[in-house]
Amino acid sequence: MSRARFAAALAAVILLAFLGAERARFSLWTTSDEPAHLAAAREWRYGPGMVSNFEHPVLMKVLGGAFLPRETPAMEIDETRAGRAPMPFVFAGLVLVTGLLARALAGDAAGLGAAALVAVEPTLRGHGSLVQSDVLVTFFLVAAAFALEYAARSGSRGALLVSGVLYGFAMSAKYSAFPFLAVFAVLATLRLASRKIPSNVEERGRRRPKRANNSTRPGARGKPLHLLRNSLRRLPNVLTLLVIPAFLTLFIIQFLAFADTSNAAFRAGIAQAFKGLPQEHAAVALARTFPKSIAAYGAGLLFVQGVAGPGERFNYFFGEISGKGYPLYFPIALGIKLTTATVLLVLAALVAAGVLAARGTRFRGLLAARACLPAALGGAYLFAACASNVNIGVRHALPVVPFAVAAAAGTLRTLVPRRRTLAIALAVVVLAATCEAALRLGREISFGNLLCGGPAGVPAILSDSNVDWGQEEGKIFERVRRGDLGRVGLTTLIVDESGARAVGIAGQAMTPDAPVDTVFFSRFLWDLAAAAEKNSDVYPKFVWLRGWLPPLRRGLEARATSVEPFGDTYLLLRLRPPAAVPSSPPGSAP
């Protein structure tokens, strides 16, 4: 395929990805993290500066704030949609860099196939339209990996520098990229030290790679001692051209973001955000000791460490909750939240990698050149996610997806030497994924693949699959406008108060005797209530949860004349009037 034809095909895929995310930008209602992001974005753009939401780095808030109107809209959803404006471009950029990375590793067909799979994945496309950091950090991580691969193949020091700069942007997008820099740097050193094999070398070995240096001489590959020596020679370049530029980029972004924030406002914001938390004294000390740019990032890391500790989050999995998470949560989450075709492709690639590794040195070399880097990056990120205490949504493992897809395409390229056969195989996978995604259109975040029966079969398995991110509240408001529900209440994690007021919703129904006729109850809270009754952890938050949520569910369920599904994330309960509280006998104590 000529460069022009590849560019045209990739551009078409990117356009479709952009249009899909743009559609989701308007169809999804305000979701859980977006209000905090947007409030901080407005502070940065028009208010006192960066003085809140230290749980997230600055880049998402800067991007969202750049598109906010000066006057706050009366409706929260209008503010949300304005702040989302740059996100479809970020998602389109993720499709671009995934395609370029896979092409560099395994050729044109692999590049187009990987880009198309990322473009059609509902979970990625849905989160790619939101004011959240997960797709943003994924974009920069994949872009940094592509620049690294280009540097390894071309010997370009400039490309390695670009990789470091892009990684700096990743660290300014999400805190998880900060500790992952150590992994990225190690893999970068190994990649630069390893033998370079052009992606157009066929499995049959008709062309041999040119001997650019001693590391490419026959027999050099596969010798651990030789690789170690070459890695030590490459390490100074990685430190000076990747690691240091990454930190400098992070510092510059932080410095510019906090430039208009006064020291007094910043310190007041730190004190307010950390009030009552165990990290309060450390955060306040950082604010007094270091410049705002450094203190804010350090405080954010402290905040994340605090809210991600044991017992700080309700991790829901297979009908149970835990304060320490579940090691298999993210692999299973990815297994049911990606399209069936993508899951089967990755599983088949794992099997094929084992077969290829057993077929000889030459096949292992080709496999390493075409799949090792993305497989190592994706695998390391997945391992880090599995080791965390926080299992509250597959979005926290989204960087694994493009790396897994690129590695699978590279493995398939090695297994199938005929380019036309490879193109047909990838086209079949993409077509199957596209059809499944189209059948679930409108369920981007609550998507579940055929392996788990679709959204209707997801709720009992994962928190992020039935958590009311808030994306369906627009459907609730439309239903309330139609009437016949009487007084309506909500029991949910997040409420768009302006939207609820506009249709006359009474508010949150948080007691069994709430004076309402109908309640829209979050499926996540409904399932969490049952799980909480079986849980005996003594974490303060778990004790607090058991004190009110199970009795609330039991009480409302006892009043219900019917309980029916409403979309993927809510239940609709029609209620009897609350039982009258008997009056106290005369002369009794009040």
- Of residues 584 and 448, the one with the higher pLDDT is 448
Task: Let me know: does 315 contact 463? Beta carbons within 8 Å.
Answer: yes
What are phi and psi for residue 490, nearest 5 degrees? -125, 145
- Of residues 209 and 503, the one with the higher pLDDT is 503
Q: List the structure tokens of 274.
A: 């950390």
pLDDT tens column, 30-40: 998 899 999 99
Q: Who's near 268: CB < 8 A, 6+ residues apart?
A: 51
If you average pLDDT over residues 420-428, what whole number do you get?
A: 93
pLDDT number for residue 206: 44
Domain boundaries along the sequence of the chain = 3-205+220-439, 472-575
Q: List the structure tokens of 261.
A: 């924030």
Maximum average pLDDT range among 214-218, 470-474, 581-585: 470-474
Nearest CA to 520 out of 566, 553, 481 is that of: 566
Give pTM, 2 decimals.
0.91
- The kind and range of the H/E element at 220 are none
Return mean pLDDT, the chain: 90
- C-alpha–C-alpha distance, residues 7 and 12, integer Å: 9
- Say how far residue 554 (Cα) sits from the centre of its chain: 34
pLDDT number for residue 579: 74
pLDDT number for residue 462: 66
pLDDT tens column, 15-56: 999 999 999 999 999 998 899 999 999 999 999 999 999 999
Pairing verdict, β 570-575 and 560-566: antiparallel
- C-alpha–C-alpha distance, residues 101 and 145, integer Å: 8
* Degrees, nearest 5: CA angle 97-253-73: 85
Task: Let me know: does 470 contact 32? Beta carbons within 8 Å.
Answer: yes
If you average pLDDT over residues 113-130, what whole number do you get?
A: 96
In three-state form (DSSP H/G/I as H, E/B as E, the rest C), the secondary structure along 201-259 is CCCCCCCCCCCCCHHHCCCCCCCHHHHHHHHHHHHHHHHHHHHHHHHHHHHHHHHHHCC
- C-alpha–C-alpha distance, residues 444 and 21, integer Å: 10
Q: Which of 91-105, 279-293, 328-342, 443-457 has the lowest mean pLDDT?
A: 443-457
pLDDT number for residue 223: 66
Query: Tell me, what amino acid is at 269?
Result: G
Kindly report the number of other CB atoms within 10 A of residue 281's CB atom: 10
DSSP 491-513: ESS---HHHHHHHT--EE--STT
If you average pLDDT over residues 279-288, what whole number do you get?
A: 94
If you average pLDDT over residues 469-490, what whole number do you get?
A: 94
pLDDT above 50: residue 216: no
pLDDT number for residue 203: 39
Report the percentage of the chain scoring pLDDT > 90: 76
**Residue 514: which pLDDT band, with cuts at 50, 70 and 90?**
very high
pLDDT number for residue 217: 43
pLDDT number for residue 469: 81
pLDDT number for residue 576: 93
If you average pLDDT over residues 114-134, what whole number do you get?
A: 96
Please report which residue ranges of 174-243 form alpha helices under DSSP H.
177-193, 224-238
Q: Who's near 575: CB < 8 A, 6+ residues apart?
A: 516, 517, 518, 519, 556, 559, 560, 561
Q: Who's near 71: CB < 8 A, 6+ residues apart?
A: none
**Residue 467: which pLDDT band, with cuts at 50, 70 and 90?**
low
- C-alpha–C-alpha distance, residues 45 and 65, integer Å: 6
If you average pLDDT over residues 391-396, what whole number do you get?
A: 90
**Residue 359: which pLDDT band, with cuts at 50, 70 and 90?**
confident
pLDDT above 80: residue 202: no
If you average pLDDT over residues 330-338, what whole number do you get?
A: 93
Pairing verdict, β 570-575 and 320-322: unpaired
Task: Let me know: does 24 contact 471? Beta carbons within 8 Å.
Answer: no
pLDDT number for residue 333: 92
Total residue length of the chain: 590
Q: List the structure tokens of 353.
A: 């990698």
**Residue 188: which pLDDT band, with cuts at 50, 70 and 90?**
very high
pLDDT number for residue 587: 45
Q: Which of 85-94, 199-208, 298-307, 558-567 has the lowest mean pLDDT?
A: 199-208
- C-alpha–C-alpha distance, residues 120 and 453, integer Å: 19
pLDDT tens column, 313-325: 999 988 899 999 8
Residue 104 gets which letter from DSSP? H
Q: List the structure tokens of 440.
A: 């679930």
pLDDT number for residue 69: 95
What are phi and psi for residue 54, nearest 5 degrees? -75, -5
* Matching residue, tokens 């994706």: 378
